Chain A
Amino acid sequence: MMTALMLAREGITGSWQPPEVTARSVIDSPDLGHLSGPPQTAVIDYELMAPLFIDFEQVVPEDGPLRGVAYLCHSDALHPGPLVELMRLAAPGPDVFAQQLDYLHHYADLRADRMEEIDVQLTDLTSFFAALAHIHPARNKATLAFIQAALRFCAMVQFRIKHGFGCPRPSCLSPQIQPMIQTPAHGSLPSGHATEAIFLATLFKALAEELSQGLEGERAAWLQQFNTQCDRLAVRIAASRTVAGVHFPVDSAAGAVLGDTLARYVLARVKAPAPGDPAAETPVPWRKLDADMSAFGAADYTVDTMASLRDGGAINGQTVTTVTTGELPLRYSPQLNWLWSACRAELRRGAPEQES
């Protein structure tokens, strides 16, 4: 091809006589539609990741062994506003993992039942959530691009925190677990599948709000059912990892806290109002989850305990998650806004204001 182009130019270009014109630079265009692949994902990933940082400390409580604590913080050097602690997550001590070991034995009964799901979910969770609505690669290009971008962000954070905690896997504690899949090399808590499952559940609930605009009738009931299915699916995906023998239920519990936090953060970032919008003057309210996984103890990860982790309810009489509300001042990102707007437009296809 290069030779052909070179030869054709030699044949037609003639004498060098450039016209006297200039072309405008497109400074920081919000529209990434002309990009694809790594150039597009690099821009989005940078925008999402830049103001986020993760800190760790080691804690030696009076009544227990060394534990890790992770802090997820937002601090934007280019935007006035204090550092905001988005989430605090304390890993459990070794005693909790020992208490949780019996679950690996009990859940192993379901290995034959869950085999197909576990296999597919090694690499794909999105398809399960997408099945809750009419999502298709052709009709939902921007939606799926948004989901993929969000998942990359989630993965980056979750792997950093996993590495920070360095928690043991179930097969470290017993040779009788014999997982039905390869135990990943990285640490167990928080569970990546549980994190991503709740992350996707929370994102898809936001997507469903948009989708519901194209429906008529009992929209609230449809949304409630959609949300219930999201929660149940997320818990099932996480529990399947315990069935497979590679996670403790407490790993999934920690994943629920992290996944919920990250999804709300992503949604807040992509929805941040533009300068000039009156809403831009007001910081976004932020629910900070402060979770201590030692308090989860010997509890199981179910729809009920997941809800308590997310909302701050008691689990077996213990407070695991404390919820505090604060403010999150956010800088507008044109590129993230473009991504969300394109996604929203797709989802609202069929809504009255869309079609008129």
Chain B
Amino acid sequence: MPLYWRTETAGPTNPLPRHPAAHWWYTLQDEAQAVGQGEAASLLALDLEDSNEAAPARPILMSPEQAQALHRGGAIPDQADPLAALLERVRDGLRDRTLFAPILPKAAQCGCAPLGTTPPLELPAVPSDSTVIGVIDDGIAFAHPNFRMGQGRRSRFASVWQQDAQCLRGTTSDVPFGHVFGRTEIEERLARADFDEDRFYQALPVIGQAGHSPFRHRRLHGTHVADLAAGAGRGDAIDTDPEKFPILAVNLPTALVSDTGATFMAGAMILGVQDIMRRTETMMATAGQAFPLVLNLSFGLGGIGKNGGHLIAAALEQAMDYWHQTHGAPMRVVLPAGNTLQSRLVARAEIAPGAPHRATLRVAPENRGSTYLEIAVARRAQKPTHASLLVKVTPPTGAGLYPPALPQGPMALDSALQLVEQTDNNGANGLAQFGIYYGFQRDFAPEGDTAPGDGVEIVTVALPPNAAKDPYRPLPPCGDWTVEVSLAPGERQLRDIELRVLRNDVPNQINPVRQRSWLEDSAYVTYAADGHMSVELESAGCAVSRAGTLNALCGGRDIVTVAAAVGNRQALSNYSAAGPGGPLAEGANVTLHACADDAAVNPGRRAAGARAGSVVRMSGTSVAAPIVSRQLAIALSSWHQSAQDDPAGFAPIDDLISRGPYRPQDRAGLGGIAAPDPVGAAVATEEPG
């Protein structure tokens, strides 16, 4: 079958930045739709520079038809403000400040008539000295008794946005998809189910794919995290005064979370954050008082910025600034540092004229996710017209895939180069084997000497999955792909480059067959001389590094980034990532650590399983983060009795620290919060009397 290179360049008439994940999705989506297997995705547009003190940037939801038209460069139907104004700014060539994020195609859109007679969402009246705990995760089992009060009859949730639930309120819904369960509805459903959790979840509208509700499982990431962050039974202020710690939750779709290439993460995450902020503001208006807000997002992304990581991080920093300035109350965002210290996802090299860097990207078989490798020039500059790098990708030896010669460089920025196989059955677009995307990410949170418009060149190599449930196309091979990064013709200056493979693994309970992709280097040292897993940040003579493996969502100065430590040792967990952040996130670093593993031989921390009486053990920095969120919420609750004059500086993180810091500080931050009592707190759950 003939192979050829297809080049597409974004321009004024097709201004969609070639966000590789989104572009790759549209390519695969086009193919799938051509054979009747795909569904069109809608698009979220967020102009991060369109925010001010009065309101955070509001996302605009574009329909699948509008998204397709934008992608193809055609006339966009049904334009009205604010979309028209945003597109105008985008066409001015300033599109890099706009996040275009696809929305999961199967999210139940709210454009249709309401189903049944679900009343409008009402938020509860909460005490005026409340502190709100926000949790964005997947699988928060919101009927669990650990999230109830009033002898188990009342819910501590003020609202839960189940993003992949059937939209019951139809056109009257105030969210674009899914369903928001308010406290009143949760309590009514609990009563109707006679407080039986199985009955409660069975009676919910369809969530995700029919028959595959996440709440049937025993181990749920979101439930474990929410229990640590806000659950009952730990003998602290949350137990004493549960009314004053209302919980606002967003349940992300499981299908979205299982794609750690984060194709759909950015849009869902940003909408979720805004949902929590908006609902908190409504409760504040009723109470006549501003509330401190702690937001826990136990997610990690790899990569640099083109997947939206930098944009999400910037959005989170903007949200905190907005809260402090507009409401004069503290807001904290807590993120996990990431678990990828040992994952071989980061490499650094220097390239010179005639001296390219050759990286080996090992892609395991049975890889059901796309593999993205981002290559960034580790230097900020104004956006050039052409890329300073030239990337050549060679498929694994023996794969039988022989691409023709690459087009001559230099490549124009905002261009996509795809190796396409022309087939008889798959339409005019053919089947894309892999893609190389030359892009530029503007710095949205510039500090210091950064000039406006400065950013980082990023080339992204995108490989589709090599295993699929129902393959309608030949799949690319597994094995060692060679990625050669050289200076573009005409470039003379040495460049430091950073290579990052986006995470491509998920917790077992979501997808046990998901394999990872990673960078191979024979000089990489896995085990130290004493037989333990090495935690040295660098291996001599090796480009692959453990340094800078931080979660790409951890943007800048204000996000609280939590590493993982071991309870019974003066040590960090050997997977806990190291700062600083990558290009565009140099200011990001680990803030502190918390105990995510009771012991080296007994990893993880125990917290709620999906049902009352069920306790499960989970590990990782996403377990450490909610431990800190809880302590922060309790500390911030004294804001109401304070002078209330410094929302950003109130209850500094140093106050929580009582351990370490351990070495190196890139992984430990300022130190850690206390390890738990070895006996462990009794988990007391209240059942209705």
Binding site for B on A (CB under 8 A): 102-103, 105-106, 109-110, 112-113, 232, 302-304
Within 8 Å of chain A (Cβ to Cβ): is B211?
Answer: yes
Question: Hey, which chain A residues are within 8 Å of B217, CB to CB?
Answer: 109-110, 113
B199 touches A303 (CB 8 A): yes
- A303–B193 alpha-carbon span in the complex (Å): 12
Query: Given the known A-B contacts A302-B198, A304-B199, are A112 and B509 also in contact in the complex, defined by CB atoms under 8 Å?
Result: yes
Interface residues in B96-137 by Cβ distance below 8 A to A read none
Partner of B216 from A102, A105, A109, A232 at Cβ < 8 Å: A109
Partner of A113 from B196, B198, B218 at Cβ < 8 Å: B218
Nearest CB to that of B196 among chain A residues? A303
Pairs across A and B, CB under 8 Å, 12 listed: A103-B211, A105-B211, A106-B212, A109-B216, A109-B217, A110-B216, A112-B509, A112-B512, A113-B218, A232-B198, A302-B198, A303-B199
Nearest CB to that of A113 among chain B residues? B218
Query: Given the known A-B contacts A113-B217, A302-B198, A303-B198, are A106 and B211 also in contact in the complex, defined by CB atoms under 8 Å?
Result: yes
Nearest CB to that of A236 among chain B residues? B198
Q: How far is the CB of A103 from chain B (nearest CB, A)?
A: 7
A109 touches B199 (CB 8 A): no
Within 8 Å of chain A (Cβ to Cβ): is B202?
Answer: yes
Q: How far is the CB of B204 from chain A (nearest CB, A)?
A: 14
Question: Hey, which chain A residues are within 8 Å of B202, CB to CB?
Answer: 302
- A303–B219 alpha-carbon span in the complex (Å): 22
Question: Hey, which chain A residues are within 8 Å of B219, CB to CB?
Answer: 113
Nearest CB to that of B508 among chain A residues? A112
Nearest CB to that of B217 among chain A residues? A113
Question: Hey, which chain A residues are within 8 Å of B211, CB to CB?
Answer: 102-103, 105-106
- A303–B196 alpha-carbon span in the complex (Å): 10
Question: Hey, which chain B residues are within 8 Å of A109, CB to CB?
Answer: 212, 216-217
Q: How far is the CB of B55 from chain A (nearest CB, A)?
A: 41
Q: How far is the CB of A235 from chain B (nearest CB, A)?
A: 9
Question: Hey, which chain A residues are within 8 Å of B196, CB to CB?
Answer: 303
- A113–B217 alpha-carbon span in the complex (Å): 7
- A103–B509 alpha-carbon span in the complex (Å): 20
Q: How far is the CB of A114 from chain B (nearest CB, A)?
A: 9
Q: How far is the CB of B139 from chain A (nearest CB, A)?
A: 13
Besides A103-B211, A105-B211, 18 more A-B contacts (Cβ < 8 Å) are A102-B211, A106-B211, A106-B212, A109-B212, A109-B217, A110-B216, A110-B217, A112-B509, A112-B512, A113-B217, A113-B218, A113-B219, A232-B198, A302-B198, A302-B202, A303-B198, A303-B199, A304-B199
Residue-wise interface mask of B (215-232) relative to A, using a CB-CB cutoff of 8 A (1 in contact, 0 not): 011110000000000000
Q: How far is the CB of A166 from chain B (nearest CB, A)?
A: 28
Q: How far is the CB of A241 from chain B (nearest CB, A)?
A: 16
- A162–B46 alpha-carbon span in the complex (Å): 62
Question: Hey, which chain B residues are within 8 Å of A232, CB to CB?
Answer: 198
- A110–B202 alpha-carbon span in the complex (Å): 15
- A304–B198 alpha-carbon span in the complex (Å): 10
Q: How far is the CB of A178 from chain B (nearest CB, A)?
A: 15
Give the top 5 A-B pairs by smallest Cβ distance, nearest first: A106-B211, A113-B218, A109-B212, A113-B217, A110-B216
Q: How far is the CB of A104 from chain B (nearest CB, A)?
A: 10
- A64–B594 alpha-carbon span in the complex (Å): 64
- A110–B218 alpha-carbon span in the complex (Å): 9
Question: Hey, which chain B residues are within 8 Å of A103, CB to CB?
Answer: 211
Q: How far is the CB of B213 from chain A (nearest CB, A)?
A: 9
- A35–B117 alpha-carbon span in the complex (Å): 67
- A109–B208 alpha-carbon span in the complex (Å): 14
Q: How far is the CB of A195 from chain B (nearest CB, A)?
A: 22
- A102–B199 alpha-carbon span in the complex (Å): 20
- A321–B66 alpha-carbon span in the complex (Å): 54
- A303–B202 alpha-carbon span in the complex (Å): 11
Q: How far is the CB of B143 from chain A (nearest CB, A)?
A: 15
Question: Hey, which chain B residues are within 8 Å of A303, CB to CB?
Answer: 196, 198-199
- A106–B212 alpha-carbon span in the complex (Å): 6
Interface residues in B472-531 by Cβ distance below 8 A to A read 509, 512
Q: How far is the CB of B175 from chain A (nearest CB, A)?
A: 27
Q: How far is the CB of B145 from chain A (nearest CB, A)?
A: 15
- A105–B199 alpha-carbon span in the complex (Å): 21
Question: Hey, which chain A residues are within 8 Å of B218, CB to CB?
Answer: 113
Interface residues in B280-332 by Cβ distance below 8 A to A read none
Nearest CB to that of A228 among chain B residues? B196
Q: How far is the CB of B207 from chain A (nearest CB, A)?
A: 12
Question: Hey, which chain B residues are within 8 Å of A106, CB to CB?
Answer: 211-212
Nearest CB to that of A243 among chain B residues? B216
Which of B211, B217, B509 has most chain A Cβ within 10 Å? B211
- A293–B218 alpha-carbon span in the complex (Å): 31
- A212–B659 alpha-carbon span in the complex (Å): 52
- A110–B217 alpha-carbon span in the complex (Å): 7
- A12–B4 alpha-carbon span in the complex (Å): 108
Nearest CB to that of A232 among chain B residues? B198
Question: Hey, which chain A residues are within 8 Å of B512, CB to CB?
Answer: 112
Question: Hey, which chain B residues are within 8 Å of A113, CB to CB?
Answer: 217-219
Question: Hey, which chain A residues are within 8 Å of B509, CB to CB?
Answer: 112
- A109–B212 alpha-carbon span in the complex (Å): 7
Nearest CB to that of B211 among chain A residues? A106
Q: How far is the CB of B642 from chain A (nearest CB, A)?
A: 46
Nearest CB to that of B209 among chain A residues? A106
Nearest CB to that of B193 among chain A residues? A304
Q: How far is the CB of B386 from chain A (nearest CB, A)?
A: 50
Question: Hey, which chain A residues are within 8 Å of B216, CB to CB?
Answer: 109-110
Q: How far is the CB of B225 from chain A (nearest CB, A)?
A: 19
- A353–B5 alpha-carbon span in the complex (Å): 92
- A303–B198 alpha-carbon span in the complex (Å): 9
Question: Hey, which chain A residues are within 8 Å of B212, CB to CB?
Answer: 106, 109
- A103–B218 alpha-carbon span in the complex (Å): 19
Nearest CB to that of B509 among chain A residues? A112
- A112–B509 alpha-carbon span in the complex (Å): 9
Q: How far is the CB of B524 from chain A (nearest CB, A)?
A: 32
- A302–B216 alpha-carbon span in the complex (Å): 13
Question: Hey, which chain B residues are within 8 Å of A304, CB to CB?
Answer: 199
Nearest CB to that of A304 among chain B residues? B199
- A247–B268 alpha-carbon span in the complex (Å): 38
Question: Hey, which chain A residues are within 8 Å of B199, CB to CB?
Answer: 303-304
Q: How far is the CB of B214 from chain A (nearest CB, A)?
A: 9
Q: How far is the CB of A127 from chain B (nearest CB, A)?
A: 19
- A232–B202 alpha-carbon span in the complex (Å): 15
Interface residues in B218-272 by Cβ distance below 8 A to A read 218-219
- A109–B202 alpha-carbon span in the complex (Å): 16
Q: How far is the CB of A129 from chain B (nearest CB, A)?
A: 18
Question: Hey, which chain B residues are within 8 Å of A105, CB to CB?
Answer: 211
Q: How far is the CB of A224 from chain B (nearest CB, A)?
A: 12
- A110–B212 alpha-carbon span in the complex (Å): 10
- A271–B474 alpha-carbon span in the complex (Å): 70
Q: How far is the CB of B193 from chain A (nearest CB, A)?
A: 10
Which of B199, B216, B509, B512 has most chain A Cβ within 10 Å? B216
- A110–B509 alpha-carbon span in the complex (Å): 10
Question: Hey, which chain A residues are within 8 Å of B198, CB to CB?
Answer: 232, 302-303
Q: How far is the CB of B614 from chain A (nearest CB, A)?
A: 10
Nearest CB to that of B218 among chain A residues? A113
- A336–B211 alpha-carbon span in the complex (Å): 46
Residue-wise interface mask of B (128-164) relative to A, using a CB-CB cutoff of 8 A (1 in contact, 0 not): 0000000000000000000000000000000000000
Q: How far is the CB of B258 from chain A (nearest CB, A)?
A: 13
- A66–B212 alpha-carbon span in the complex (Å): 33
- A113–B611 alpha-carbon span in the complex (Å): 13
- A303–B199 alpha-carbon span in the complex (Å): 9
- A302–B198 alpha-carbon span in the complex (Å): 9
- A103–B211 alpha-carbon span in the complex (Å): 8
Q: How far is the CB of A242 from chain B (nearest CB, A)?
A: 12
Question: Hey, which chain B residues are within 8 Å of A302, CB to CB?
Answer: 198, 202
Q: How far is the CB of B372 from chain A (nearest CB, A)?
A: 28
- A109–B218 alpha-carbon span in the complex (Å): 11
Q: How far is the CB of B424 from chain A (nearest CB, A)?
A: 29
Q: How far is the CB of A327 from chain B (nearest CB, A)?
A: 35
Q: How far is the CB of A244 from chain B (nearest CB, A)?
A: 15
Q: How far is the CB of B625 from chain A (nearest CB, A)?
A: 25
